[in-house]
Structure 1
């Protein structure tokens, strides 16, 4: 299976989820239901993933047709977003229910699909570099597509476009022909709850996996606060909140450029080295943005910080795969993705509450969080062998 086939399946649903968090608040303003309601609806589209992640992972690990589950999730997301596009005529409470349902199945197209990437792209380092590229393409193209659709028509059109993207991803999943997870011979398969318990136990007690899960979660706590800090920095220095969007866009573009480079030339160092130093470099560049050397400096420094996010994310995904038994792999991926999503939301909330401490302090604090998440990789056990039977 080709790289383009995997990207065709993985990028559209991630684009849709990335774009809906912009489209829904704008739609709420257009329909005069209030930006606060729009924010709550956007949260409804993402919040359930942390609760649903272990269930989705266990379902994929136990399913004989995991591709059908992932495609079905894409269809559910598409239907929910299409329904949400009619906010206004449709009451906000009904849209909220639809978005909660979409958020419940989101782990299937995020961590769930990632857990099968090596079926499509056998070379592991390249496989996870491509998967990181799919995430970055979605993160950049989703908001950009919403902005373009809203400018040409309305936020309703933008929301329908996100529904269409999710549907495209569902259809594109079919050619992947995903195979069910392998299970040890001669062992009785545990119950559904037993599968979930085994997944949590493995994540918490297997040291290599526990270290990278904690590090990856902490990094997203910092990442989640970046948009708030960027707006605060722009207001403090220029009085223009719009410049904060430029800073965040620079981070996204840096991430995309790093992902494109990484997909062509994955680093040959150990994945724990790439993950740790990548997070640390992101943090150091973010700290540098606090220096008051003009708007261009802040944009360039944050953009440079984004360059290192894709290689470190790809390394993290590779370690997840290598340190997970096949029968628990999807659960490890979905729980890891769910924890990162929850940490990003918490980071945004904390940054908002802490905005009064000063923009520069906030930017430095976010950078320090990234550096700390990189330093956590010092606890990674040296020479830890892969337990999935693959070689690094």
Structure 2
């Protein structure tokens, strides 16, 4: 019951977030013929989450009613996406404001909800394997649902579908009956935020994992740009790039399904480091010019390792955080990864002139480097969350 209830609560909002970044640009083109505006509005939906993450985490660490906040965040997100669906009928500024508001609520549904998963699923390894599965399901199903809704109806219908998914997640959060994390934070809100940043920066196991996870997303963020560049260079068809990216997402989903059924029993830092490195190795191999099928297959295999390594990363965050700072550690970590992914996409776009193969290899090497960072993880580290 715990697994199904958690997936029902965690997957729909992550599907909505994954899909809205596709739906909004398409909607902007459909209604206003302005793709640049679509990009800006998509950034408005995600950008604020980076700034809101430490505040959201501190609030969740201090609240006595986390379930109410989670459900409320889902309702706010659903309302904001509903407003956004009427871009073209409503002023652009009102849609932008709505999406910014949604961006401040998103950390509750991503890192925030992750910080409570073991309250629903007691087995830590299984809990974070299921949480990684929810992320992967959202990442694959969100864009796919938008593509289908747009093809069968319109981008407005797709955006409303994402709003409905966020609403479904809000409703499904209620049966979880989330309780406050153990312990009572001391001091003011600012003191709690400062304590969270200090713990992330100075507690070596957490600092290593946070740095590695952030660096890996810098590489991941550039994959879509590199895939399109590679497709154009080799086939002249940019649409092939979408197939390459989809292969990575499907590989991640398959890996998540396998990992959720049978989580690895290695030390989590080993799983995380080896998984990141393996993703990098197969990404580098994808640069070999031996046919499109090889490229798609290699990228698909590279995605297989991401779920287990992400689940291990989430487990370490939990084990290396005192309960009074856990939500903040999760939301800040998620915010840093989101920022790194955005930066990676921007840098890949700027560096596209260097050549598609160079970009693919660079992305693979970044993944390998992020895995190698786990060598610095202290072997003597024991969980401190008890």
TM-score normalised per structure 1:
0.98
Do structure 1's residue 205 and structure 2's residue 202 form an aligned pair?
A: yes
Q: Aligned residue for 1:251?
A: 248
Q: Aligned residue for 1:234?
A: 231
Q: 2: distance between equivalents of 1:5 and 1:252? A: 24
| 1:120-169, Cα deviation, whole Å (9 max, x unpaired) | 11000000000000000000000000001001100000000000000000
CA contact (8 A) 1:128 1:317 kept: yes
Q: 2: distance between equivalents of 1:43 and 1:75? A: 20
Q: 1: distance between equivalents of 2:313 and 2:198? A: 19
Q: Aligned residue for 1:271?
A: 268
Do structure 1's residue 149 and structure 2's residue 149 form an aligned pair?
A: yes
Superposed displacement of residue 90, structure 1: 1.0
Q: Aligned residue for 1:338?
A: 335
Q: Aligned residue for 2:46?
A: 46
Do structure 1's residue 126 and structure 2's residue 123 form an aligned pair?
A: no
Q: 1: distance between equivalents of 2:103 and 2:280? A: 30
Q: 1: distance between equivalents of 2:91 and 2:109? A: 28
Q: 2: distance between equivalents of 1:233 and 1:28? A: 27
Q: Aligned residue for 1:160?
A: 160
Q: 2: distance between equivalents of 1:376 and 1:91? A: 47
| 1:92-131, Cα deviation, whole Å (9 max, x unpaired) | 2211111011001100000000000001110000000000
Q: 1: distance between equivalents of 2:298 and 2:139? A: 19
The total of aligned residue pairs comes to 386
After superposition, where does 1:79-228 map in structure 2 within 5 Å?
A: 79-183=79-183, 189-228=186-225
Q: Aligned residue for 1:364?
A: 361
Q: Aligned residue for 2:288?
A: 291
Provide structure 2 residue ranges, at least 5 long, that are not aligned to the other structure: none
CA RMSD of aligned residues (A): 0.7
| 1:355-389, Cα deviation, whole Å (9 max, x unpaired) | 00000000000000000000000000013100012
- Aligned-partner SS, 2:32: coil
CA contact (8 A) 1:8 1:169 kept: yes
Q: 2: distance between equivalents of 1:32 and 1:121? A: 46
| 1:207-232, Cα deviation, whole Å (9 max, x unpaired) | 00000000000000000000000000
| 1:15-61, Cα deviation, whole Å (9 max, x unpaired) | 00000000000001101240000011001110011100000000000
Q: 1: distance between equivalents of 2:323 and 2:33? A: 47
Q: Aligned residue for 1:349?
A: 346
Q: Aligned residue for 2:302?
A: 305
CA contact (8 A) 1:33 1:88 kept: no
Q: 2: distance between equivalents of 1:91 and 1:152? A: 26
